[in-house]
Amino acid sequence: MTHPDFLWADPEPKRGYDVVVIGAGGHGLATAYYLARNHGITDVAVLERGWLAGGNMARNTTIIRSNYLWDESAAIYEHSLKLWEGLSDELDYDILFSQRGVLNLAHSLPDVRESVRRVNANRLNGVDAEWLTPAEVKKLVPIINTSQELRYPVLGATFQPRAGIAKHDHVAWAYARAAHDLGVHLIQNCEVTGFRRAGDRVTAVETSRGAIEAGRVALCAAGHTSVLAQELGFRLPLASHPLQALVSELLEQVLDTVVMSNAVHVYVSQAHKGELVMGAGIDAYNGYGQRGSFHVIESQLAAAVELFPIFARAHVLRTWAGIVDVSPDASPVLGLTPVENVFVNCGWGTGGFKATPGAGWVYADTIAHGRPHPLAAPFTLDRFTTGALVDEHGAAAVAH
Amino acid sequence: MLSVPCPWCGPRDETEFRYGGQAHVAYPADPAACSDAEWAGYLFMRDNPKGWFAERWFHSAGCRRWFNAVRHTVTYEFAAVYAPFTQPPGVPS
Ligand SMILES: Cc1cc2nc3c(=O)[nH]c(=O)nc-3n(C[C@H](O)[C@H](O)[C@H](O)COP(=O)(O)OP(=O)(O)OC[C@H]3O[C@@H](n4cnc5c(N)ncnc54)[C@H](O)[C@@H]3O)c2cc1C
Ligand SMILES: [Zn+2]
């Protein structure tokens, strides 16, 4: 594929916009695109404090799946997965979406029970899911160690064949180009620092490049959403944590499936170029520094080498961290806010890359109509008051 | 890895500790009198500042005591540690 020099323009901000989206990660870009494409709302700016898609969008391990336990989650993630399946065509850009399947390993009897339950729940929701025995896991992934002597032996796995990975940069660039083509302004190096109010409404956002008037404001700032909410005067049930990942040097192809294990906390895939991409759990403390503690890397590698003994000879090339916005029930917060014309999309935590098209789609619809899209309705901020949590933490396979 | 200054044991590796999140989230004096929104505030809503943060740590693999700390969430620097149920010493500006 040959690239033009620029896929989108770098315009000066106008005096104001109908919709101002804060944050040009995957979710902000997808939201702007669907506002224009699905709702004809093209007077839109996406404001980004750094460079386009340099936050979690550039730092995630790109696992895409929809095998969540609860009906509400399965519905929104499966909506997203269906959009992924048509996205290269839709955006006319090869996003290297590879449906190579995702395995979620079970290492204990409770794991096995949770996993089988989740397979059954997934099937009832029309999500492809299978339960594999250790022998079947070994057949799919010959390099995995299925010895029952391990401290945490592989007792089986759930398998979602339609799940996989995509190239995160291509996804961001594809949405950016498509949004730009529909008239959206993508404004980088533009940090939102405050809000101008008239009663219950925001009239303008204050930025490092001056004030910009806003008919509606859509928060899409992932790990920084609490900082903006504080400026707006409402509270969110979020904690921002560092989440780390790493890559090895380029290797011959040894792994053509995504393997995740919550119990020993590692997940791995092999990127198209050949590097092993691995991630772990969050660092325990609240943190906005884009770095975490090395012992987290050490323990994820210990787990990886136990499961894949040949990885012991690979070298780590790079480690890094993003800032993820973790909610109490490991589900997103999507919908209206106490401020009349401000909308929120956050709380995707460690697992929002897979939701990029789906979240953008339902969030745009929510903004356009001023009420939650049906798929977003279970995920509004109200659920923390009513108690109707969507508790994906308790369920297996929650991470990423 | 962070070096966490336990007020009872001195600086120790982070792996000896468990993190307890925001400090000073007091149990409501009369829980039954809380509105649903107040209860949600106690249970779920949290300060999540980019900057100085009063938080709880538990020295689980050491003296097994809880304490509070004021730590910066960008630099990760500790400004102070202090006993539970006491007010934080002055926060650097
Ligand atoms: C190491 C790691 C691994 C992960 N692995 C996976 C995975 O395998 N699968 C999966 O589904 N998810 C994964 N995730 C989670 C996923 O990356 C996030 O949930 C998702 O990217 C969040 O949406 P976003 O792309 O819009 O966020 P971001 O790309 O972080 O976008 C938010 C943007 O807002 C900008 N911003 C913040 N404050 C302001 C402001 N005041 N003014 C202007 N702009 C502002 C930021 O600079 C940033 O660009 C992972 C995350 C990390 C860190
Ligand atoms: Zn101690």
**Option in A227, A237, A238 nearest B50 (CB):** A227
The answer, yes or no, to whether residue B5 has pLDDT greater than 70, is yes
HEC string for chain A = CCCCCCCCCCCCCCCEEEEEEECCCHHHHHHHHHHHHHHCCCCEEEECCCCCCCCHHHHCCCEECCCCCCHHHHHHHHHHHHHHHHHHHHHCCCCCCECCCEEEEECCHHHHHHHHHHHHHHHHCCCCCEEECHHHHHHHCCCCCCCCCCCCCCCEEEEECCCEECCHHHHHHHHHHHHHHCCCEEECCCCEEEEEEECCEEEEEEECCEEEEEEEEEECCHHHHHHHHHHHCCCCCCEEEEEEEEEEEECCCCCCCEEEECCCCEEEEECCCCEEEEEEEECCCCCCCCCCCHHHHHHHHHHHHHHCHHHHHCCEEEEEEEEEEECCCCCCEEEECCCCCEEEEECCHHHCCCCHHHHHHHHHHHHHHCCCCCCCHHHCCCHHHHCCCCCCCCCCCCCC
Ligand found nearest the CA of B65: 2
Q: Say yes or no: CB of residue A241 within 6 Å of ligand 1.
A: no
pLDDT of residue A1: 56
Q: How far is the CA of A111 from the centre of ligand 1 (A)?
A: 29
Task: Find chain B residues with C-beta within 8 A of A236's C-beta.
Answer: 45-46, 48
The answer, yes or no, to whether residue A362 has pLDDT greater than 90, is yes
Task: Find chain A residues with C-beta within 8 A of B15's C-beta.
Answer: 295
Q: What is the ipTM of this complex?
A: 0.96
Ligand found nearest the CA of A357: 1
More confidently predicted of A280 and A350: A350
Cβ contact, residue pair A285, B55, below 8 Å: yes
Q: What is the pLDDT of residues B46-71, one digit of tens each?
A: 999 999 999 999 999 999 999 999 99
pLDDT of residue A280: 83
- CA of A29, closest atom in ligand 1: 26
Nearest to A242 by CA among B24, B30, B14, B70: B14
Among protein residues, the one with the nearest Cα to ligand 1's atom 12 is: A351
Q: Which residue of B has its CA nearest to A388?
A: B40
Q: Which residue of A has its CA nearest to B20?
A: A285
**What pTM, to 2 d.p., does this model score?**
0.97
Among protein residues, the one with the nearest Cα to ligand 1's atom 19 is: A352
Cβ contact, residue pair B45, A236, below 8 Å: yes
- CA of A58, closest atom in ligand 1: 29
Q: What is the pLDDT of residues A119-177, one digit of tens each?
A: 999 999 999 999 999 999 999 999 999 999 999 999 999 999 999 999 999 999 999 99
